[in-house]
Amino acid sequence: MLHNSDARFRIEGASAAQQQAVDALAQQFLVSDERLAAIVKEFRRRMEVGLAADCTMLKMVLSHVVWRPTGRETGSYFAIDLGGTNLRVLRVTLDGAGGATTEHQKFVLTEDAKRRTLFDFVAQCVETFLDDRSLRPAASAPPLSIGFTFSYPIDQTSINSGTLLYWTKGLDVPGCVGRDVVRLLEDALLRVGLRARVAGVASDTVSTLLAAAYADPAAQMGVIFGTGTNAAYYEDVAAIAKWKGPDPPSREMAVSIEWGAFDSDELAILPYTPHDIKLDRKSLNPRRQVYEKMISGMYLGEVARNVVLWLADQRLLLDGRSSDVLNAMWSVDTSYLSAAALDDSPDLSEIREIIEKTLNVPMSTLVDRRIFKAIAILVGERAARLSTVGLVATLTKRPALLDRPLTVAMDGSMYEHYPGFDRIMTETVSRFIPARQFANIRFSLAKDGSGIGAAVLAMLATQHSAAAAQ
Ligand code: GLC
- Average pLDDT value for residue range 117-124: 98
Question: What is the distance in A from the centroid of ligand 1 to the CA of 223?
Answer: 10
Cα(259) to ligand 1 centroid in Å equals 8
SS3 266: coil
pLDDT band at 1 (very low <50, low <70, confident <90, very high): very low
The answer to whether 272 and 281 have CB atoms below 8 angstroms apart is: no
Question: Please, where are the H alpha helices in 201-260?
Answer: 204-215
Q: Which of 204, 256, 296 to mutate to test the pocket of ligand 1 (most atoms within 8 A of CB)?
A: 204
Question: Are 242 and 54 contacting, i.e. CB atoms less than 8 angstroms apart?
Answer: yes
Q: Phi and psi of 159, rounded to 5°?
A: -60, -25
* 379-437 residue pLDDT tens: 999 999 999 999 999 999 999 999 999 999 999 999 999 999 999 999 999 999 999 99
115 alpha-carbon distance from chain centroid: 20
Give the pLDDT confidence score for residue 466 in this predicted structure.
75
Cα of 327 vs centre of ligand 1, distance in Å, is 28
Nearest ligand 1 atom to alpha carbon 204: 10
Residue nearest to atom 8 of ligand 1 (CA): 152
- What pLDDT was estimated at residue 403? 97
Reference 428, options 4, 19, 39; nearest CA is 39
Q: What is the mean pLDDT of the chain?
A: 96
Q: What is the pLDDT of residues 227-284, one digit of tens each?
A: 999 999 999 999 999 999 999 999 999 999 999 999 999 999 999 999 999 999 999 9
For ligand 1, atom 4: residue with the closest CA: 151
Q: What is the mean pLDDT of residues 349-365?
A: 97
What are the two backbone dihedrals, phi and then psi, of residue 276, each rounded to the nearest 5 degrees? -70, -40
Radius of gyration of the chain (CA): 23
pLDDT tens for 180-209 read 999 999 999 999 999 999 999 999 999 999
In terms of DSSP bridges, do strands 61-62 and 252-256 run parallel, antiparallel, or are they unpaired? antiparallel
The predicted-structure confidence for 18-63, as pLDDT tens digits, reads as follows 999 999 999 999 999 999 999 999 999 999 999 999 988 999 999 9
The separation between CA 349 and the C-alpha centre of its own chain, rounded to angstroms, equals 31
Q: How many Å lie between the centroid of ligand 1 and the Cα of residue 313? A: 34
- State the closest ligand 1 atom to the C-alpha of 289, by its place in the atom list counted from 1: 7
- The ligand 1 site (C-beta within 6 Å) comprises 84, 151-153, 168-169, 203-205, 224, 226, 228-230, 258, 260, 292
Atom 9 of ligand 1, residue of closest alpha carbon:
152
* CB contact set of 203 (below 8 Å; sequence gap of 6+): 61, 63, 149, 150, 151, 153, 154, 230, 232, 256, 258
Q: Work out the pLDDT band at 2, boundaries 50, 70, 90.
A: very low
Q: How much is the average pLDDT of 160-173?
A: 96
Find the catalytic residue in 81, 91, 151, 343. Answer: 151
Given a cut of 90, is residue 69 above it in pLDDT? yes
Domains and CATH numbers, the chain: 61-216+448-461 (3.30.420.40)
Alpha carbon 421 to chain centroid, angstroms:
14
Q: Closest by alpha carbon to 158, among 45, 30, 292, 63?
A: 63
Positive or negative torsion for Cα 404, 42, 167, 304:
negative
- Cα 171 to ligand 1 centroid, rounded to whole Å: 11
Do the beta carbons of residue 362 and residue 321 sit within 8 Å? yes
Write out pLDDT tens, residues 281-332: 999 999 999 999 999 999 999 999 999 999 999 999 999 999 999 999 999 9
Burial of 81 (0-12, 13-18, 19+ CB in 10 A): buried
Ligand 1 site-directed mutation target among 109, 152, 167, most atoms within 8 Å of CB? 152
250, 441 Cβ separation under 8 angstroms: no
Percent of all residues in the chain with a pLDDT value above 70, rounded to a whole number: 99
Pick the catalytic residue: 81, 180, 204, 263?
204
Q: Which of 163, 201, 229, 257 to mutate to test the pocket of ligand 1 (most atoms within 8 A of CB)?
A: 229
CA of 50 relative to ligand 1 center, distance in Å: 17
Per annotation, catalytic residue among 46, 68, 88, 370: 88
Q: What is the average pLDDT across 105-127?
A: 97
Give yes or no: 151 in active site: yes
pLDDT value of position 470: 66
Please answer whether residues 461 and 75 qualify as being in contact, where contact means their C-beta atoms are separated by less than 8 angstroms.
Answer: no
Residue 139, pLDDT score: 84
Which atom of ligand 1 lies nearest, measured to the CA of 260? 7
The answer on pLDDT for 101 being more than 80 is yes
pLDDT at 243: 97
- Ligand 1 centroid distance, CA of 229 (Å): 5
What's residue 208's pLDDT? 98
